[in-house]
Amino acid sequence: MKILVEIPDNDATFGMKVLRSLSFVKNAKPMSSGSINLWDDLKEAAKDVRLHKEGKAKLQSLDELLIEV
């Protein structure tokens, strides 16, 4: 199982030390800024799709999106 843990920057060194000291943690590594941005974009997209499926938001059509570009 993979778990994402958010730790404030000023506690990151200690938090990583604690995670790595646990015998059942296989891999503890910080995310790059690019990965963080991608993760945030994916969360936002998933939220938009969920709201669209619930009828609470209208998504742009491909034509509308292409006109913007």
The model's pTM is: 0.64
Reported as a pLDDT band with limits 50, 70 and 90, residue 69 is confident
User: In this structure, are 24 and 40 located in the same domain?
Assistant: no
Asked if residue 37 and residue 63 are part of one domain, the reply reads yes
HSE-CB of 55 using CA atoms within 13 angstroms: 0
Burial call 39-63: b when 16+ CB within 10 Å, e when fewer = eeeeeeeeeeeeeeeeeeeeeeeee
Judge whether 12 and 30 are in contact, CB under 8 Å: yes
Range of the domain at 51: 32-69
Give the pLDDT confidence score for residue 7 in this predicted structure: 95
What are the pLDDT digits (tens) for 24-64? Answer: 999 999 999 999 999 999 999 999 999 999 999 999 989 99
